[in-house]
Amino acid sequence: MDDGLDDNGQIINFDIKSAAWNPYKGQGIECELGYLDLYIDTSLDSEFVVEFYKNNSNYPYKTQTVNSLPDLREHGTVQSVVPLNPSTDGYQCNASRHGLVEDQSIYIYQIEGPSFLNSQQYLVTYVDENTFNIVQDFSGNGTAITAISLAATGVVTAPGHPFFDGKEIIISGGDMTEVISNIYIVANATVDTFELRGINTSGYTPYTSGGVVFPSYTGGGIVAELPFYSGKVWKRAYAGGVGYWHQVRVFQQESNSPFRLHAMMPWFKQTGGRMI
C-alpha cells in the first residue's frame, strides 16, 4: 500500500483476507494447509501478521508474526542489551545459544530502545554461549549527565535529553556507582532534567562526572552475519490445520513501516477425512 504520501507517523492499516481454499473440494475430502509463502519487499523495520482459519470458525487457530528481512544468516534473537560500564567499552548482549565465536563479524537488526545499535557491523567478544559483547564507543549515542542530586527523589541533569515521562532509561559510567546499569523510569521531565521515579539517592556516592544516559532495551533484536539489502524475498508462515476449507488473513498495523505484498503461495496436502 503506497499512495505516494507520508503517513506522518500515523498507522495505516493493511488488512486482507483470502477466499475459502481447498484444492481437493471436488474429491469431497479435507486437506491440511501446511504453510503459506508470501513474496514481499524487504524492509528493515516492517513486520506483518498472518492468521490461519479453518472451516466455519471466526477465530484463528494459528497466528504468526513475520519480519520482512532477507536471508541474513541469523544467529538467533536478542533478549536484552545493556551498555557496559563505561559505555566506551560497548554493549553486552544476551542471545540464547547464539553460536558466535571470538572476533566474528555480525550485524544487529530490529532492536527497540537503543535503536542506534541497528544495521551496524560489529566484532564479537565472546563471553559465554548465551552472552556476547560488542566493543565500541557508544558514549556519543547517549546524553551526557552533568549532575545527579542527592535527594529523596534523585534528579538527573542531562542537557538536551530526549526522554519523556514514563520512558525507561539506563545509566552507564560516572562516579555515582549505585545508579549504573539499572533501569529507571523518567518522571517530571524538563528540557534538561528528569527525576528517577521513586529512587532515593540521598545516601548515594556524590556525582561529579562521567555518566551517560541511554534509552533502555524494550524488545526485538536479530543477530545476523550479513548486511541488509533491498529487494524482494519469500517469507514463510506455518499453519498445520486440517479442515474442509481454509482462509488466511494478512495484516499490518504500524507507522513508518512500508509493506508491499506481491504474491502468496499456499501448500496443501490431502487427508483421509471426508467432507460432509
Domains and CATH numbers, the chain: 12-70+231-274 (2.60.120), 74-138+219-224 (2.40.30), 141-215 (2.40.30.180)
Residue 1 pLDDT: 46
Burial 190-206 (b: 16+ CB within 10 A, else e): eeebbbbeebebeebee
Q: Which pLDDT belongs to residue 258?
A: 80
- State the chain's mean pLDDT as an integer: 92
In the chain, what are the helix, strand and coil shares in percent, each to the nearest 5? 5, 50, 45
- Average pLDDT of span 97-109: 93
Report residue 25: phi and psi, to 5°: -60, -40
So what's the pLDDT on residue 268?
96
**Mean pLDDT throughout 85-105?**
93
Cβ-proximal residues to 152 (8 Å cutoff; 6+ apart), any chain: 200, 202
Q: 90 is written with which cell numbers?
A: 560497548
For residue 192, give the DSSP letter: S
Taking alpha carbons only, the member of 224, 46, 231 closest to residue 120 is 224
Render 80-131 in DSSP notation, one character per residue: EEEE-SSGGG-EEEE-TT----TT-EEEEEEEESSGGGTTEEEEEEEEETTE
Q: How far apart are CA 24 and CA 19, in angstroms?
A: 15
Q: Are 239 and 34 in contact (CB under 8 A)?
A: yes
Whole-angstrom distance, CA of residue 194 vs CA of residue 57: 51
Encode pLDDT of 213-255 as tens digits.
999 999 989 999 999 999 999 999 999 999 999 999 999 877 7
Check residue 259 and give its pLDDT. 86
Place of cell 560497548: 90
Amino acid at 12: I
At 4 the pLDDT is 56
Residue 141 corresponds to which cell in the numbers above?
A: 549515542
Helices (H) and strands (E) in the chain, counts: 0, 21
Range 165-172 average pLDDT:
96
pTM above 0.85, yes or no: no
**27 φ/ψ angles, rounded to the nearest 5 degrees:** -90, -5
- What's the CA gap between 213 and 216, in Å, rounded? 9
Structure confidence at residue 45 (pLDDT): 81
Has residue 177 got a pLDDT over 90? yes
